[in-house]
C-alpha cells in the first residue's frame, strides 16, 4: 500500500489528483481543513473511485495536528502539496494572508517529512514564478523575474524552500487549469467568489452573474486581451501521478512546466465556451487588473521527455466539462 499524503486534497486540482492516484494504485490520504472547498469533493471522489477515502480535517499550518497525521498513518511514500490560497487578485489586496499560509504550510510539511523520514514531495507551483517572461513559449530555464503578485512571490519562495531542504522534489509549474471530471462529481468548490476566467464564464451562463468583465483590451496581443495557456484539470492531475512515479526512481530536485503550449486570449476563451455549449455570454471591457501578466504559455517539451506527459484533452472538452460541473454543483 503506497500511501501519498495529499494536502489540499479536497480542493479543485487536489480532488482530481486523488482520483488519478487511486487509479494508478496509490493510496491517497487527504489533509484539508475545507477553508476554500467543501465535503462535496470528498463525496464526489468516493463516488468516482467506489470506495471511502481517508481524510484528516486539519489545517496544514498546525504543526501538532500534522505530526499526529504522520504518526497515525505510518509509512508514507511521498506528499503532494496543494494546500495554498490561489487568487492572484486577493493576494494583491491581502498579501500577509498569502505569506502566512502558503509558506507556513510548506514549512510545517517539510518539518514533518524530515522527522518521519519521508523523502518525496510534489509541489503545486505556478507559471507565475516567471513573472512577465522575455521569451515565449516559456521554458524551465527562464529566470524568476519580479513576481507580478504576492501569490506568485509565495510560489517563488516555496520553490526556494524546496531547493534548500533535504527532500527530493518536483515543482510542477501549472499554467491555467480549467474544466472538471467527466462525471461532474468533483470540481472547483471554492468558498470565495471565483476570480478565474472560466468559473466566472460559467456563472454568467448560469445566471449567477449578469456579465463578465474583461480586464483590459489594450495589451500587445492580437485582440488586445491577455493570453493564457488553458489546461484541462484531468490532464494536470495525471501529471502529478507521473511526477511521483518519476521522483521515486529519480531522487533530486526537478521542475517541470505543465501546459498545452497553446496561447488563448480571454476573448477567444469566451468564444470557445459559447461555441462548445451553444450559449451566449454577456461581457464588457474594463480597466486592466493589478497583478495580471500580459501573456504566457508553456514550452512543455521537458515534461514530455522526462515524464512522458502531454495534454490530451481539448479546450472544447474542458469548456464542456466546466459547464456540466456548473449545472450540477
Residues belonging to the active site = 151
Cell of 212: 463578465
Question: Using an 8 Å Cβ cutoff, are 171 and 125 in contact?
Answer: yes
Using DSSP's 3-state secondary structure scheme, residue 76 falls into: coil
Burial profile 123-158: b = 16 or more Cβ within 10 angstroms, e = fewer: bbbbbbbbbebeeebbebebebeebbbbbbbbbbbb
Tell me how far the alpha carbon of residue 290 is from its chain's centroid. 21
Q: Is 29 exposed, middle or buried (0-12, 13-18, 19+ CB in 10 A)?
A: buried
Name the grid cell of 183. 462525471
Measured over the CA atoms of residue 103, residue 120, residue 63 and residue 8, the dihedral's sign is positive
SS3 assignment, position 226: coil
Roughly how many angstroms between the first and final C-alpha of the chain, as a whole number? 33
CB distance 311 to 259 below 8 Å: yes
With contact defined as beta carbons under 8 Å apart, do 258 and 303 qualify? yes
Amino acid at each position: 500500500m503506497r500511501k501519498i499524503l495529499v494536502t489540499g486534497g479536497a480542493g479543485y486540482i487536489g480532488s482530481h489528483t486523488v482520483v488519478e492516484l487511486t487509479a494508478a494504485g496509490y493510496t491517497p490520504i487527504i489533509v484539508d481543513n475545507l477553508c476554500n472547498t467543501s465535503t462535496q469533493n470528498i463525496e464526489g471522489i468516493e463516488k468516482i473511485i467506489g470506495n471511502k477515502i481517508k481524510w484528516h480535517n486539519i489545517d496544514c499550518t498546525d504543526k501538532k495536528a500534522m505530526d499526529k497525521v504522520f504518526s497515525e498513518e505510518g509509512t508514507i511514500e511521498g506528499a503532494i502539496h496543494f494546500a495554498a490560497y490561489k487568487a492572484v487578485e486577493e493576494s494583491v489586496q491581502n498579501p500577509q494572508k498569502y505569506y502566512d499560509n502558503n509558506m507556513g504550510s510548506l514549512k510545517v510539511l517539510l518539518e514533518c517529512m524530515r522527522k518521519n523520514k519521508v523523502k518525496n514531495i510534489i509541489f503545486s507551483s505556478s507559471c507565475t514564478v516567471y513573472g512577465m517572461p522575455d521569451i515565449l513559449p516559456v521554458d524551465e530555464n527562464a529566470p524568476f523575474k519580479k513576481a507580478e503578485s504576492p501569490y506568485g512571490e509565495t510560489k517563488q519562495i516555496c520553490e526556494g524552500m524546496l531547493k534548500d531542504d533535504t527532500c527530493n522534489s518536483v515543482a510542477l509549474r501549472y499554467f491555467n487549469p480549467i474544466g472538471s471530471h467527466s462525471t461532474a462529481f468533483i470540481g472547483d468548490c471554492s468558498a470565495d467568489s471565483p476570480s478565474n476566467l472560466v468559473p466566472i464564464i460559467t456563472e454568467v451562463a448560469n445566471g449567477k452573474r449578469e456579465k463578465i468583465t474583461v480586464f483590459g483590451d489594450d495589451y500587445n496581443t492580437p485582440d488586445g486581451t491577455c493570453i493564457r495557456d488553458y489546461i484541462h484539470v484531468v490532464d494536470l492531475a495525471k501529471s502529478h501521478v507521473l511526477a511521483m512515479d518519476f521522483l521515486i526512481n529519480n531522487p533530486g530536485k526537478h521542475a517541470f512546466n505543465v501546459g498545452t503550449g497553446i496561447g488563448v486570449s480571454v476573448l477567444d476563451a469566451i468564444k470557445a465556451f459559447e461555441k462548445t455549449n451553444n450559449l451566449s455570454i454577456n461581457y464588457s471591457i474594463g480597466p486592466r487588473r493589478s497583478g495580471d501578466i500580459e501573456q504566457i504559455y508553456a514550452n512543455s517539451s521537458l515534461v514530455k521527455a522526462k515524464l512522458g506527459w502531454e495534454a490530451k484533452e481539448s479546450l472544447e472538452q474542458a469548456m464542456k466539462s466546466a459547464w456540466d460541473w456548473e449545472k450540477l454543483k
